[in-house]
């Protein structure tokens, strides 16, 4: 496995690959890789001749008071994880390489970015779509893989790809959980052992809502009351949102069915965690 740090080298590599009729899969990441990322990479390996993973902690998707500086980084360990998952090439540029002096062009998906994380993290998705559009132009993949833990991100990227006629297949992959239900996240590294236990309230709330729906309850008011009760049992948990939305349009719903998305963002101490499920699906 090789590492490329410049845009020019990455584009030259991808241009050559395409000229040789090789297909390219891209797994964009911010590093500190875990089993969730590895599952995207293993799937990417099966979908193209060449598998590229990008590792870039993207400054434009962090708000001024967010954890950009503290975000965990470990390129050496990341390259081991990527190599074990079958990655051929890691693209790991610097911030200056991606955003040189004079940079001033952003990609913005409008309505889909208004609720949920878009409301609680202003500017976040503008940073995500901008960097993902850049990565697509730099790596020139035929297929790109994203995790469903960032459900809204996946929906926003699909919208961007459709709206801007990008010729790239977007694949959404299931959330990978620890054995006790906690969704894997690079930010789990921030949790103290006590907070790690408290963090289970997110997956417990999702499970409870799924079970209530399975038992025939369709009222979002009732489902939400139970979700809030479970998370409310943890004094350190502060809810940013606990929303029931249409799984395709992300519009708020009052009656739930198997296609309804339950999306959570909860701060445990200082750590903001997100999790979600489609109520009628396992996971
Ligand atoms: O999901 C992530 O890790 C990031 O938002 C992404 C897609 C790599 C863009 O920086």
Return d(Cα 236, Cα 267) in angstroms, integer: 8
243 lines ligand 1 (CB under 6 A): no
Q: How confident is the model at residue 282 (pLDDT cuts 50, 70, 90)?
A: confident
Q: How many residues does the chain have?
A: 283
Pocket probe for ligand 1: among 30, 37, 66, the residue whose CB has the most ligand atoms within 8 Å is 30
253 lines ligand 1 (CB under 6 A): no
Return d(Cα 155, Cα 245) in angstroms, integer: 13
Nearest to 152 by CA among 66, 240, 39, 248: 248
Query: How much is the pLDDT for 15?
Result: 98
242 contacts: CB under 8 Å, gap ≥ 6 = 205, 224, 227, 228, 231, 262, 263, 264, 266
Ligand 1 atom with the shortest distance to the CA of 186: 3
90 lines ligand 1 (CB under 6 A): no
28 lines ligand 1 (CB under 6 A): yes
Return d(Cα 51, Cα 46) in angstroms, integer: 9
Is 34 a residue of the active site? no
Pairing, β 271-278 against β 260-268: antiparallel
89: three-class secondary structure by DSSP: strand
Per-residue model confidence as pLDDT tens digits over 205-256: 999 999 999 999 999 999 999 999 999 999 999 999 999 999 999 999 999 9
Neighbours of 203 (CB within 10 A): 21
What's the CATH number for 186-275? 3.30.1300.10
Residue ranges of domains in the chain: 2-173, 186-275
Cα distances (Å, whole numbers) of residue 251 to 27, 222, 226, 263: 28, 18, 21, 12
132: three-class secondary structure by DSSP: helix
Pocket probe for ligand 1: among 131, 133, 158, 172, the residue whose CB has the most ligand atoms within 8 Å is 131
Per-residue model confidence as pLDDT tens digits over 96-109: 999 999 999 999 99
Under a CB-based contact definition with an 8 Å cutoff, are residues 205 and 181 in contact? no
Domain 2-173, CATH among 3.40.109.10, 3.40.50.620, 3.30.230.70, 3.90.650.10: 3.40.50.620
Per-residue model confidence as pLDDT tens digits over 133-166: 999 999 999 999 999 999 999 999 999 999 999 9
Between the CA of 143 and the centroid of ligand 1 the distance, in Å, is: 15
Ligand 1 atom with the shortest distance to the CA of 132: 9
Cα distances (Å, whole numbers) of residue 146 to 9, 217, 232: 24, 31, 31
Q: What is the mean pLDDT of the chain?
A: 98
pLDDT for 283 beyond 90: no
């Amino acid at each position: 496995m090789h590492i490329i740090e410049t845009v020019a080298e990455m584009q030259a590599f991808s241009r050559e690959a395409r000229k040789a009729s090789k297909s390219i899969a891209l797994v964009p990441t911010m590093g500190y890789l875990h089993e969730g990322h590895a599952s995207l990479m293993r799937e990417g390996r099966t979908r193209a001749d060449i598998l590229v993973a990008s590792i870039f902690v993207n400054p434009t998707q962090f708000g001024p008071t967010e954890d950009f500086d503290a975000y965990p980084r470990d390129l050496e360990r990341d390259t081991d994880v990527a190599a074990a998952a079958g990655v051929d090439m890691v693209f790991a540029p610097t911030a200056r390489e991606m955003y040189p002096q004079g940079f001033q062009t952003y990609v913005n998906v409008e309505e889909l970015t208004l609720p949920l994380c878009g409301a609680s993290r202003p500017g976040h998705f503008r940073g995500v779509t901008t960097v993902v559009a850049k990565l697509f132009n730099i790596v020139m993949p035929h297929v790109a893989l994203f995790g469903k833990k960032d459900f809204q991100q996946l929906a926003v990227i699909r919208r961007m790809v459709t709206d801007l006629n990008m010729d790239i297949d977007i694949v959404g992959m299931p959330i990978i959980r620890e054995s006790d239900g906690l969704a894997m996240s690079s930010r789990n590294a921030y949790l103290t052992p006590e907070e790690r236990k408290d963090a289970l309230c997110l997956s417990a709330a999702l499970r409870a809502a799924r079970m209530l729906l399975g038992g025939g309850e369709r009222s979002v008011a009732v489902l939400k009351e139970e979700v809030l009760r479970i998370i409310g049992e943890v004094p350190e948990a502060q809810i940013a949102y606990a929303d029931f939305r249409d799984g395709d349009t992300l519009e708020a719903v009052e009656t739930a069915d198997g296609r309804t998305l339950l999306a959570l963002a909860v701060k445990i101490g200082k750590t903001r965690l997100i999790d979600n499920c489609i109520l009628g699906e396992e996971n």
